[in-house]
A and B are shown apart, each in its own frame.
Chain A
Amino acid sequence: MEVPSAVLRDLVAEATGQRAFRCYQCGNCSAGCPMAGKGDMLPHLVFRLLQLGDDSPVRSIQPWLCVGCQTCAVRCPQDLDLSLVMDALRAEAMRRGTVPDEAKRIAAFNKIFLEQILDGGRLSEVQLGAIYNLRTLAPFQNLTSVPALLRRGKIRIGGKAVRGPGAARRGGGKP
């Protein structure tokens, strides 16, 4: 069942404090966005659609392309932070199961990254790459760079084990 569309705007405002109605469509965010034109929705259109009660941003690839550089946020004359809105839209897309197919790899990457640090505390870039390869069914991608990284001492094996906050919370203990 589709959630009533007006809710999306309110959900976003609730989660981020960013009120879509403040936007007057100057387009500054789209002018500076490194990912503008690389997806299906110019950044300022996201605010417009939220204003109109349109749900399509939650099904769009655009939030998934956002790298969080915050160029939009520092240039917004209305002091809105669109990068926070993009975060909320991705989280909502995960909840509703509306992640577009082209974004599945990005979602998988984010998920593996987060799982690893919540449990392991610190990120191992190599482990991240290996798990990502397995889950995206491309076990050999980027493999050729491993020897070069090893030669330069850029792969550290057996670093200090730290309990991540995820593990700590499950154990109920304090650090």
Chain B
Amino acid sequence: MSAYAYFPGCSLHATAREYDESIRAVADALKIGLNEIEDWCCCGATPAHALDPRSAQILGLWNLAHASKGQAGPVLTGCASCFSRLRAVKNEIQEREEHIRGAREALGLDIDPRLEILHVAQVLAGEEIREEIKARLSHPLKGLRVACYYGCLLTRPRGAGAVDDVEAPRILEDLVELVGAEAVDWPLRLDCCGASMAMPRPDLVRELSGKILMMAHERGAKVLMVACPLCHSNLDFQQEAILRELGQSFRIPVLYLTQLVGLALGIDPGRLGLGRHFVPVPVRELVPAEGASCV
């Protein structure tokens, strides 16, 4: 189908390796071309702009310049933080040019002003791709109750190129319903997990992520679906410690959106990296055994 300049970001090469694997596996199944951007560097995430906004601009400009080379197509990223940072810098060029002019001149690289930046959720929401998913849905996830967790940065900044409405997005719920599962109605889907405070202030992350886990569970979700590697780390890697501290015995698997879609497309769980999670993913319970009702 279409081709994209793929921006994996640092986490997808390490702690969120399964997100990268599942993005590649789903793209492969849906015939989406991914060309990894050569020499991409870290987007700067939260710590860069938190400490030195100008460095954050330089990092963003560097990546936009590398993505512009060779016209590989729109940028596709799976990381909500990379997505937000790249968009923030692009929007700054377009809307507050005087604030970024200095950094642009210092770096001196060409950037294609029309370069589109897309999160994988947006690509999967495209009309043609939705048709392709429907046609290949070998294992519809009937009856699976999924809490879609957007976290904060997937929908931000507001303005040009946003995935959806900043306060009432539906893009993840639509995807969950497309693959036959049920999207749970719950209130904390846009609340922050604590993000990069995981190292310097783990107490804050445990408090914020604890609320999210508890609420998803109370609303009867069997799975939390995320679209950000840091959300995943805080909710999966830290889950055991958080829930033990809260005296809770339940555990809730946390899947990336591409892992959930991959299961519905009948992709082997190993290729989706489902064995790499800290909270075990009971694939047989999630995917109906007699799944092959379509195709």
Contact = CB atoms under 8 A, between A and B. Distances in A.
B62 A165 contact: yes
Given A73-B158, A122-B41, A87 B53 contact: yes
A163 B41 CA distance: 8
A175 B199 contact: no
A17 B17 CA distance: 38
B123 interface: no
Interface in A106-127: 106-111, 113-114, 117-118, 121-126
Nearest to B49: A87
Contacts of A15: 53, 99
Contacts of B196: 67, 109
B13 to A, nearest CB: 6
A125 B53 contact: no
B269 to A, nearest CB: 14
Nearest to B237: A145
B103 to A, nearest CB: 10
B204 interface: yes
Contacts of A107: 51
Contacts of B278: 148, 152
A70 B152 CA distance: 7
B13 A122 contact: yes
Given A110-B50, A122-B13, A65 B204 contact: yes
A74 interface: yes
A26 interface: no
A30 to B, nearest CB: 15
A121 B157 contact: no
Contact of A165 (B59, B167, B190, B208): B59
Nearest to B273: A153
B122 interface: no
B44 A114 contact: yes
Contact of B153 (A69, A108, A168): A69
B51 A114 contact: yes
Given A34-B192, A34-B208, A70-B156, A174 B13 contact: no
Contacts of B106: 169
A68 B152 CA distance: 9
Nearest to B162: A74
A163 B39 CA distance: 8
Contacts of A108: 200
A66 to B, nearest CB: 7
B267 to A, nearest CB: 18
Contacts of B16: 154
A105 B52 contact: no
Contacts of B10: 117, 122-125
A124 B15 CA distance: 10
B14 A129 contact: no
A96 interface: no
Contact of B52 (A35, A114, A164): A114
Counting chain A CB atoms within 10 Å of each CB, which of B96, B156, B195 scores highest?
B156
Counting chain B CB atoms within 10 Å of each CB, which of A67, A74, A81, A153 scores highest?
A67
A105 to B, nearest CB: 4
B292 interface: no
A103 B53 CA distance: 18
B40 interface: yes
A129 to B, nearest CB: 7
A105 B41 contact: no
Interface string A14-50: 0111000000000000000011001000000000000
Interface string B193-235: 0111101110010001000000000000000000000000000
B291 interface: no
Interface of A: 15-17, 34-35, 38, 65-71, 73-75, 81, 84, 86-88, 90-91, 94, 105-111, 113-114, 117-118, 121-126, 128-129, 132, 142, 145, 148-149, 152-156, 159, 162-166, 168-169, 174-175
Q: Top 8 nearest A-B pairs by Cβ distance?
A: A69-B152, A113-B47, A117-B42, A110-B47, A123-B10, A110-B51, A121-B41, A69-B192
12 contacts: A69-B156, A70-B152, A73-B158, A87-B53, A91-B52, A105-B201, A109-B199, A118-B55, A162-B39, A169-B107, A175-B39, A175-B109
Given A75-B167, A145-B237, A156-B14, 4 more contacts: A81-B157, A113-B45, A117-B42, A155-B14
